[in-house]
Structure 1
Amino acid sequence: MNYRIWHSSESFADFIIDNTILTARNTTKSILPDSDASKPKQFHKVPDHLKKILYLDAPDIIIEFDNEPILAIEESREAGTGHNAFQRFSRLAAAVENGVPTFYVYPEATIISRQNSNPRWDKINPLIFKALDDVMDIYNKPVLLYYYPTDYRTHTTTPQISTNFINNNKGRRMETNMNYAGCPEIQDTQMQEMFTHINLLVNEVEQNGIQAVQQFIRKREIRNKRDWMRTEYTNKNGSLDASPLTSSIELPTQYLINFLSSYNNGNYDINDSELLNSRATTLFYYTGSKWRPQGDPFTGCLAAIDYIKCRIGQTFEDRDVNLVMVWGSMNIDHQNQTFTVDSTNCSVDDFAKQAETGEKRSLLLKGYHNISNEEIPRYYMHARYGSTYSKPKPIRIFSYFADAILFTDGSLWRDA
């Protein structure tokens, strides 16, 4: 029985190994390249079954048991207010969509301090708990959240005297052992619970085989954790009237069809688009932001909205509501059942230019006789997958989750 820990941070990999029963197993570590776009000399060496998990974005850790992925782990230290709690959501979704349980380490709150104002706790958006629960409903795999250790519970009303604010850790309790530099405090109860759940999964697959992953969500300990997440959502006054849903509106799909009818010509009619017209309503997620090459936090928010409001099955085709991303403000004309998109911050060219960079990375354009020997495996990957893994992350995620993307000067949509 062999374990392989794919990681983006070796200290976090050691943190997981050394604090679980993996430390007594035959365990190896490997760097996890996140995409062909950012790691072109490494990504083609990643096993094909892992590429499927990385098609949207890469988690911090993937644990394999005898070459089968059994767990993904994502860790974040960011403030959880508003959109930010969903920034990594597409990473979680990609793992679970491929049948891999996922653990998410995220602060309950962090301290923010701005000039001319007192320090305060920036608290987690509780809607993240519902989004994760909805993913579990659809895939029947655990997607569990563990609080990154902080002083929030002990200094709720006095963040300014938190030792971990004074030492510039924003109230986060971080491990002092430099072997785990940047990692959460090991002795924290939430971290200990996560280690216990990792041990539970390892024991299950060793005793019952890889198929135990499929039944892991039924374990009493996992069900209890899911109940805790639901309780946190309730106790923190979780509501659908929260970001990012407050930046969305649901309208009859005819509004979208009428908007896109401006693209009709002798060769095309939007009314023939079976996919869009098959759903009675459409949810529009809009932002007045400038286009961000890294995509955050909008990529994760779009993925979360899909599961909260649109998805009823395991693929984007299994929606009862269309999901549309709008880059700009929507001026709705209810009389004519249409709208306009207004923005001075971004253009369809922002999307197109970034998308085209992925195509330019293809070694197929270079020609076989112009590549070096070490480039041949990557060339072969491009021959099989094209630019699937070469496109920048925002392009991959937006194109996967959105049925349409609308700009003030252009639009993209799918017919099927």
Structure 2
Amino acid sequence: MTVTIWYSTDEFAHFIAANTSLRTSSPAFKKLYESDASNSKNFHALPDHIKKILYLDSPDLIVEIDSEPIFSIEVSTEAGTGHNAFQRFARLAASVENGVPAFYIYPEASIVERNGGASVRWDAINPLIFHAMEQVMQVHSIPALLYFFPSDYRSYGANPKKAPNRPRKGLKHDVVYPACPDGADAEMTDMFTAIDQILSLVGHHGVVRARSRLLQDLIIRQRRTYMQAEYAAKAGGQSPNTMSPMTSTKRVQTSELLKHLSAYCKDGYRIGNLLRSREETIIYSVNAKYRGDPYPGSLAAIDYIGCRQGMTFEERKYNLVLAWGEYEEHPQKGFLLGGRKATVKDFIREVKASESRNILGRRFSSLSSWEIPRYYMQVRYGSTFSKNKQVRIYAYFADAMLFPDGALWRDG
């Protein structure tokens, strides 16, 4: 049995290995390169089964056994209010969509200081993240489990100024691996137990049979139940639609979307059947400058919370549209997008910048030795991995993107 731990941070990889049964398997540690866009010299050399998990974004760690990915882990120390809790959600979705269990380590709350320490408070996690992860599990029947990054929150929630770990945002870090969560905390020991259980099931049943049993396993079920309870307690009876990012969405008749897009249909062109096949459309309205985080992850979460009813984006009850600008409903014209914060040129410019990394137009004689396998990878995958992550995620999840001065959509 050959175990490989693919990592973005070496210390975190050794932290996970040291605290789980992986320590007895003499794992190989290998660097996980995020994309062709961020590391053109090395990404193409990653195994194909690893690339498939990275088609949207890269997790912090992937463990594989005999070239079969077993689980992935994402860890964050960011404050989880509003959209921020969903910043890494696309990474979790990409893992689970490939049948690979995903673990998410995220603070229950973290300390935010403003005005030179005059304002010190806890920013608590947006509870809708629990609901979103539950929806992922319901769709794919693969675990997506959240564990709290250890913190002083439960002991010093009412008095953040007195929190022992205030200089580190109230978060508890490990003694041996200081950049990592405190491995002695109950949240982390529970996660290590779940990891060991997955490894045990894989050892007894093989990867394919183990995956089909994971959601029935008692340890996994107990954590899933805990997450559901946390959502209920922290949401306080709120509907998902009254919580961020769902509060930034509108549900409209698809006929209104088609009317809006008709301004860009010329020479007898007729929009295809995909958009027309769904009577209603969810519009995620972002009145901000065009950028990435936290919007790509929020878009992915909106898909699972409010649109998805099957394994792929084609299996949606509603179209999912990302609209950049000031959204305004109009009784005669349907809806309008105004503002100057974002334009379609921003997106096109970013796509063009990504395409500059594409080497398929080069002559063979101009390719360096290391570029030859990269060229061959691009022959197979095109620019999939040479585009930056937000372009990949927007194009994957959004059936259409709207700007005040343009629009893009898919026909199928």
The two structures share one fold, judged by TM-score above 0.5: yes
Q: Show the counterpart of 1:139.
A: 140
Alpha-carbon distance in 1 for matches of 2:9, 2:101: 20
Q: Is the 8 A contact 1:347 1:408 kept in 2?
A: yes
Q: Show the counterpart of 1:95.
A: 95
Q: Show the counterpart of 2:123.
A: 122
Alpha-carbon distance in 2 for matches of 1:205, 1:331: 52
Q: Is the 8 A contact 1:152 1:171 kept in 2?
A: yes
Q: Show the counterpart of 2:61.
A: 61
Aligned CA-pair RMSD: 1.0
| Match 1:377 to one of 373, 376, 380 | 373
1:334 deviates by: 2.6
1:13 deviates by: 0.2
2:234 partner letter? K
Q: Is the 8 A contact 1:127 1:239 kept in 2?
A: no
Q: Show the counterpart of 1:201.
A: 198
| Match 1:411 to one of 401, 407, 410 | 407
Residues 218-233 of structure 1 aligned to structure 2 (within 5 Å): 218-233=216-231
Q: Show the counterpart of 2:168.
A: 169
Q: Show the counterpart of 1:301.
A: 298
Alpha-carbon distance in 1 for matches of 2:294, 2:56: 14
Alpha-carbon distance in 2 for matches of 1:118, 1:158: 12
1:176 deviates by: 2.5
1:291 deviates by: 1.4
Unaligned runs of 5+ in 2: none
Alpha-carbon distance in 2 for matches of 1:186, 1:126: 24
1:26 deviates by: 2.6
Alpha-carbon distance in 1 for matches of 2:303, 2:144: 16
Aligned-pair identity (%): 48
- Aligned to 1:390, the other structure's residue is in SS state coil
Residue 267 in 1 paired to residue 268 in 2? yes
- Aligned to 2:29, the other structure's residue is in SS state strand
2:294 partner letter? P
Residues 40-59 of structure 1 aligned to structure 2 (within 5 Å): 40-59=40-59
2:351 partner letter? A
Alpha-carbon distance in 2 for matches of 1:208, 1:285: 42
Q: Is the 8 A contact 2:303 2:397 kept in 1?
A: yes
1:408 partner letter? P
Residues 10-409 of structure 1 aligned to structure 2 (within 5 Å): 10-115=10-115, 117-165=118-166, 168-177=167-176, 180-211=177-208, 212-237=210-235, 239-240=239-240, 241-270=242-271, 273-292=272-291, 295-336=292-333, 338-409=334-405
1:277 deviates by: 0.7
1:331 deviates by: 1.4
1:214 deviates by: 2.7
Q: Is the 8 A contact 1:87 1:299 kept in 2?
A: yes
Alpha-carbon distance in 2 for matches of 1:38, 1:264: 36
1:358 deviates by: 2.1
2:169 partner letter? K
1:239 deviates by: 3.2
Alpha-carbon distance in 2 for matches of 1:343, 1:5: 47
Alpha-carbon distance in 2 for matches of 1:79, 1:201: 29
Q: What is the TM-score normalised by the length of structure 2?
A: 0.97
Alpha-carbon distance in 1 for matches of 2:270, 2:234: 47
- Aligned to 2:225, the other structure's residue is in SS state helix
1:362 deviates by: 1.3
Alpha-carbon distance in 2 for matches of 1:189, 1:334: 55
1:124 partner letter? I
1:265 deviates by: 2.1
Alpha-carbon distance in 1 for matches of 2:260, 2:323: 12
- Aligned to 2:156, the other structure's residue is in SS state coil
Alpha-carbon distance in 2 for matches of 1:239, 1:160: 32
Q: Is the 8 A contact 2:264 2:407 kept in 1?
A: no
Single out whichever of 203-212 and 68-77 deviates more from structure 2.
Answer: 203-212
Alpha-carbon distance in 1 for matches of 2:345, 2:110: 37
Alpha-carbon distance in 1 for matches of 2:400, 2:391: 13
Q: Is the 8 A contact 1:99 1:214 kept in 2?
A: no
1:114 partner letter? R
1:225 deviates by: 0.6
Q: Is the 8 A contact 2:174 2:183 kept in 1?
A: yes
Alpha-carbon distance in 2 for matches of 1:42, 1:224: 40
Q: Is the 8 A contact 1:60 1:74 kept in 2?
A: yes
